[in-house]
Amino acid sequence: MTAPIFVDTNIFIYARDPNDAAKQAQAAEWIANFWRDRAGRTSAQVLSEYYYNVTQKLTPKVASADAWDDVQALFEWRPYPIDGALLERARDIEQRWRLNWWDSMIVAAAQMQGCAILLTEDFQDGAVFGGVTVRNPFTHNVNEPAATYSVHPVAASRHRGRGRPRKALTV
């Protein structure tokens, strides 16, 4: 069985960006492949970032109705919501790997959806974060034979955190 693949914001943006035809074509091919295989996953954070960037920062801008249609279609990918469990996992990731907060949330959402691959160009290709391997879609070909990845749930850390012990809250 092929594990699901988490798709980061930049891949969706490139699929809409006519300023880099090569990346646009590659991103569109990856996304079409995930639709066909039903392997794509994403998060509410990614969809929010996508909508904002293509309607506000991309040149030419995408009409808000068209961007919203894209977001609604991606609801079929079961985007992971921003909830307490995600925030707790993101905090653990931020502390363990010293990632920035937004990247920690991306990795957390990928882990929590059982993804073996995080498709993005924002991390070092080949980096592994608790069972999620980063792949840059622009250095790998969608037609390459699929690698076999096993997904292992991330266990809670058995080591106490750094710094001072937390004081118990008294109410």
Domain membership of residue 150 (yes or no) is no
Mean pLDDT for 125-154 is 76
Residue 146 contacts residue 46 (beta carbons within 8 Å)? no
For residue 40, which of 72, 88, 18, 8 has the smallest C-alpha distance?
Answer: 8
Domain membership of residue 21 (yes or no) is yes
127: domain range? 5-135
Tens of pLDDT along 41-94? 999 999 999 999 999 999 999 999 999 999 999 999 999 999 999 999 999 999
Q: Where are the alpha helices (DSSP H) in 17-100?
A: 21-37, 44-56, 64-74, 84-97
Q: What is the pTM of this model?
A: 0.82
Tell me what pLDDT residue 165 has.
54
Domain membership of residue 153 (yes or no) is no
Tell me what pLDDT residue 140 has.
85
Domain membership of residue 123 (yes or no) is yes
- Here the CATH number for the domain that contains residue 113 is 3.40.50.1010
CA–CA separation, 91 and 85 (whole Å): 10
CA–CA separation, 48 and 68 (whole Å): 10
**Mean of all residue pLDDT scores within the chain:** 89
For residue 166, count other CB atoms closer than 10 A to its CB.
8
Tell me what pLDDT residue 2 has.
75
Peptide bond into 60 cis (omega under 30): yes
Tell me what pLDDT residue 144 has.
58
Domain membership of residue 152 (yes or no) is no
Tens of pLDDT along 154-164? 555 555 555 55
Residue 137 contacts residue 29 (beta carbons within 8 Å)? no
Tell me what pLDDT residue 93 has.
97
Domain membership of residue 96 (yes or no) is yes
Q: Which region holds residue 7: left if phi is over 0, alpha if psi is between -120 and 50, else beta?
A: beta
Tell me what pLDDT residue 164 has.
55
Give how many domains the chain has, as a whole number. Answer: 1
What's CA 89's distance to the chain center, in Å?
A: 14
Of all residues in the chain, the percent with pLDDT exceeding 70 is 82
